Amino acid sequence: MEQGTAPRSAEAAGWSERRARSVARGVATTHDLVIVRAQGAWLWDSEGREYLDGMAGLGVMNVGHGHPAVVAAIEAQARTLLHTCAHTAWNAPYIELAEALARRAPGDFAKKVLLVNTGAEAVENAIKIARAHTRRTAVLAFQQAFHGRTYMALTLTDKAHGYKEGFAPFAPDVHRAPSAYCYRCPVGRQPTTCAVECLDAVRRQVAVGIGEDNLAAVIVEPVQGEGGFVPMPPAFLQGLRRLCDETGAVLVADEVQCGMGRAGSLFAVEQMGVVPDIVLLAKSLAGGLPLGAVVGRAEIIDAPVPGGLGGTFAGNPVACAAALAVLDVLEREDLPARARAIGERLRAAALAARPRCPGLGDVRGVGAMIGLEFVHPDGSPNPGLALAVVAAARRRGLLLMRAGVYDNVVRLLPPLILSDEETRLFAERLAGALAEAGEAA
């Protein structure tokens, strides 16, 4: 999926061929580049080219690349204790991180924490826990959802093309309902006529398609990520909360992509007037090391019997030490506030460039999680224009990537440590890319 136009050196071509020969074809990439170094908001490839990072390692580097506090924590922990599996004996950073996450997660009740390695693993475990707690089996997920690539997570994921092809059959008793994708309202409302009628479709699915007393869990991304950077309106999430209260189902907020300050608060749900029973974190949690977390009501998290949860590497001390440092950096540098400021600036830049790129149909998002949706004049998805914007941005030294069930959304996902000058540069390069792609369309 090479999108840049710069001539490729022998070395870059060499990497590309070696990769094609030895790496599984199923691992797709947006930019066929080899990144050899990164610092702050900047990336350098094997040919020495410099890029502003608009992808943050797919939402992982909220505190930026090589943050000195995170690197120091990793170095110190690696020298002290690299690994001891939680099933053999505990490590202190695991327990400290569990305490830190339980203290910060939304909800004025006792909470407990399970640590895992990835977002998909967090999703898998949330469903296991919800089923063990409710002694029910049905799970409700949403259109545009993305929850990962393991079997339950993939079953919960909406998009077939690219993610699910050839992998059937999927896990049983997973159901799907419309989500509040307001730009493409599933029930045909306009913002002025909306009374969150999409919730009626959700309720019908639960009452008729599933049966209220069969529902174990409702899993939702407060801001849908891979599905197109679609923020769920607070009223939609509040409706799901009521539904779960009425049915006894567990409300799971998947904040793997929108959490850790990205949305402008440590947890996105904090801005939405909703307290989930379980919240999931991964990606930016450990600032670049693999770590995921399932944080929730103590009595729900404790439903599985001892032995039911865990994993060899889950809660690795180095990853946990990194996560403790990340939490400290997010709070000390007030990066959620910085996310809001960066997001406003980038949103304004995109809107200002719209006259030169009329195919930019929607600019949306929360905090520094901004989606630009591209359309044809009749409003149908225009993935080609989104691709052209990504290519034009790369020619300007800005790496972006697409999202969306129609591949027609460009996501702006920068590290949250962008300085004012870097934010200005990001906005300038983005505006240039929108103008170039828009005028060529």
Rule CB under 6 A: which residues touch ligand PLP?
A: 118-120, 123, 146-148, 221, 225-226, 254, 256-257, 282
Minimum CB–partner distance for residue 126 and ligand PLP (Å): 10
E strand or H helix that includes residue 177 = strand 174-177
Minimum CB–partner distance for residue 93 and ligand PLP (Å): 20
Residue pair 221/164 in contact by the 8 Å Cβ criterion: no
Kindly tell me which of 363 and 401 has the beta carbon lying closer to ligand PLP. Answer: 401
Torsion over CA: 405, 249, 283, 56 (sign): positive
Tokens of 372: 């630009």
Kindly tell me which of 153 and 330 has the beta carbon lying closer to ligand PLP. Answer: 153
Q: Please state, in angstroms and as integers, the Cα–Cα distance from residue 256 to each residue in 110, 266, 301, 339, following that order.
A: 22, 12, 18, 16
The DSSP bridge partners found for residue 372 are 363, 410
Kindly tell me which of 148 and 343 has the beta carbon lying closer to ligand PLP. Answer: 148
Kindly tell me which of 126 and 391 has the beta carbon lying closer to ligand PLP. Answer: 126
Minimum CB–partner distance for residue 254 and ligand PLP (Å): 5
Minimum CB–partner distance for residue 279 and ligand PLP (Å): 12
Minimum CB–partner distance for residue 119 and ligand PLP (Å): 2
What letter represents residue 262's amino acid? R
The string of DSSP letters for 210-256 reads I-GGGEEEEEE-SEESTTTSEEPPHHHHHHHHHHHHHHTPEEEEE-T
Where helices occur in 267-368 by DSSP H, the ranges are 298-301, 317-332, 335-353
Minimum CB–partner distance for residue 95 and ligand PLP (Å): 23
Minimum CB–partner distance for residue 211 and ligand PLP (Å): 27
- The span from the CA of 378 to the CA of 388, in Å, is 19
Minimum CB–partner distance for residue 157 and ligand PLP (Å): 9
Kindly tell me which of 58 and 235 has the beta carbon lying closer to ligand PLP. Answer: 58
- The span from the CA of 132 to the CA of 387, in Å, is 44
Residue pair 45/36 in contact by the 8 Å Cβ criterion: yes
Kindly tell me which of 53 and 436 has the beta carbon lying closer to ligand PLP. Answer: 53
Minimum CB–partner distance for residue 364 and ligand PLP (Å): 17
Give residue number: closest CB to ligand PLP: 119
- Residue 381 preceded by cis peptide, ω within 30: no
For residue 427, the SS3 value is: helix
Sheet strand arrangement including 215-220:
111-116, 292-297, 278-281, 250-254, 215-220, 138-142, 174-177
The CA radius of gyration of the chain, in Å to the nearest whole number, is 21
Q: Please report where in the chains the tokens 């400021």 appear, as a residue.
A: 341
Kindly tell me which of 256 and 390 has the beta carbon lying closer to ligand PLP. Answer: 256
Nearest one of 282, 303, 302, 312 to 123, comparing CA atoms: 282
Kindly tell me which of 123 and 329 has the beta carbon lying closer to ligand PLP. Answer: 123
Q: Please report where in the chains the tokens 């409706």 appear, as a residue.
A: 239
Kindly tell me which of 153 and 325 has the beta carbon lying closer to ligand PLP. Answer: 153
Kindly tell me which of 43 and 154 has the beta carbon lying closer to ligand PLP. Answer: 154
Minimum CB–partner distance for residue 226 and ligand PLP (Å): 6
